[in-house]
Structure 1
């Protein structure tokens, strides 16, 4: 479980307690990961919870994570919630953490994938907004996020607009959608699955930070079908389902969990 120290990541981790024998709580902040592990361990009867400090863009660190996962046994479930939003960094860092980091994590754990392994990567409903017409140069670049010149290629393909952090975030999350499709084909032959989940506006500290900077988010909530923000545990329930055997025929797809934002906008257009 990455991004496990707070918000949706922590709620996903909470749902996995009892579903797996060993649970690695991966977070950039070691203190946060340790505190989360202590919290979850109090309720864990059959699951051993272990904190693991890691930057998901660190190849060597990811190799260490994969080695630790191998030591613990069969890789059963991976929930990848680690990521940053538009107010948290510049465009290069957003693309690096949200998309390149996703590809690096999958690359590191791919050798451990086996029958029954399931992975869920967090994308965003933002990926479904903005320009929708085909952009071959951008799509070709998104297809290879581990290319050493990926960021420069994105700048060339998108243009100066990519330096807007909101635009960079949108493209990063679209890249997660595309990556999951390709990764599903790579791991499918061994019986493993991978999906993405696209949260809408969820009541988390990170979500509140974005809302403070972007008042338009409140309008989206008001126009949504349910007319409210999501709760972290509601996202966690969807992730838990996607990681479970009950979702054994779901792979290579994105699940939109937005409280009906898109439905609300479509109904008013």
Structure 2
């Protein structure tokens, strides 16, 4: 098993990419904390997975906009699992709005969750990993972290920040045994996408040279590689998992 004995924390772990990543880590032998909002399906999912995987999954509620809650989440993870070997910094929200109509509070909320929230989790995890002398953090960025798109000023600003912050954290952690990387998913077939009308959904599919949307488990597999010892010489990278979206247009 690729993650046997590893202790992994996944934020935004109650659904979609996060939940798929939790499941893959459990299959590969890790003990996993699902961290998500108190009102999410996280507690239910953790209970079910814990029963199927020999008591190796638990839920910790967290709001990543709260430094206190994030620090408590990491402390509780260490208390329950005995340490922290890997983090998928995956909590985030979307947002579509023309720049001229963006209200300050809407823009800042996306930044607070998608960028500052990633920083809070990474900071708390790094403090613990520095004590241990080892660890791997994977931040969830996006294809919109490497180029722009209309009506996504806040989201692209946040995800671009995640990509470059990842590089800086990787440089700082390299001599202390901590690797930091990011993943840039394309459009992924989650319930959010499934709810779109067929014309809009097809327009998103057409943006990918492979002619389809990604699957949550395909992002989970990328996370599994980056968090594992198989990626022991990989740090500061932004792994694009996007069906060719960012490669160019034919």
What's the TM-score, normalizing by structure 2?
0.84
Q: CA deviation at 1:201?
A: 0.7
Is 1:41–1:49's contact at 8 Å kept on the other side of the alignment?
yes
Q: Secondary structure at the match of 1:52?
A: strand
| Equivalent of 1:243 in 221, 227, 233 | 227
Deviation per residue, 1:124-171 (Å, 9 max, x gap)? 10122228xxxxxxxxxxxxxxxxxxxxxxxxxxxxxxxx86111011
Q: How many angstroms apart in 2 are the aligned matches of 1:180 and 1:108?
A: 15
Q: Which runs of 4+ in 1 moved over 6 A?
A: none
Kindly indicate whether the alpha-carbon contact (under 8 Å) linking 2:87 and 2:125 is maintained by their aligned counterparts in 1.
Answer: no
Q: Deviations over 1:215-262 (max 9, x none)?
A: 3x6334224221000110111011101111000111111000001112
Alpha carbon RMSD of aligned pairs, Å? 2.3
Contact 2:61 2:73 in 1 (8 A): no
Task: Tell me the alpha carbon deviations over residues 13-63 of structure 1, each in whole angstroms, 9 at most, x when there is no partner.
Answer: 111115455321100134511111022123213x52111111011111112
Q: Which residue of 2 aligns with 1:189?
A: 175
Alpha-carbon distance in 2 for matches of 1:214, 1:249:
43
Asked if the contact 1:87–1:213 (Cα under 8 Å) also holds between the matched residues in 2, the reply is no
1:29 to 38, 60, 67: 38
Residue 68 (structure 1) aligns with:
76
5+ long unaligned stretches in structure 2: 1-9, 98-104
Q: Distance in 1 between matches of 2:199 and 2:94?
A: 12
Q: What is the distance in 1 between the residues matched to 2:207 and 2:151? A: 24
- Deviation (angstroms), 1:84: 0.2
Distance across 2 between alignment mates of 1:111 and 1:223: 40
Alignment-derived partner of residue 172 in structure 1: 158
User: Could you state the TM-score of these two structures normalised by the residue count of structure 1?
Assistant: 0.79
The answer for the alignment partner of 1:117 in structure 2 is 135
* Corresponding residue of 1:158: none
Residues 214, 243 of structure 2: 8 Å contact kept: yes
Matches within 5 A, 1:1-269: 1-19=10-28, 21-45=30-54, 48-71=56-79, 72-87=81-96, 90-113=106-129, 114-130=132-148, 166-208=152-194, 211=196, 215=200, 218-263=202-247, 266-268=248-250
Indicate the larger mover: 2-11 or 87-96.
87-96
In structure 2, C-alpha distance between the alignment counterparts of 1:124 and 1:194, rounded to whole Å: 16
Unaligned runs of 5+ in 1: 132-163
- Other structure's SS at 1:90 match: helix
Counterpart-to-counterpart distance in 1, 2:27 and 2:182? 22
State the match for 2:101 in structure 1: none
Shift of 1:207: 3.5
Which deviates more from structure 2 when the two are superposed, residues 185-194 or residues 49-58? 185-194
Corresponding residue pairs, total: 231
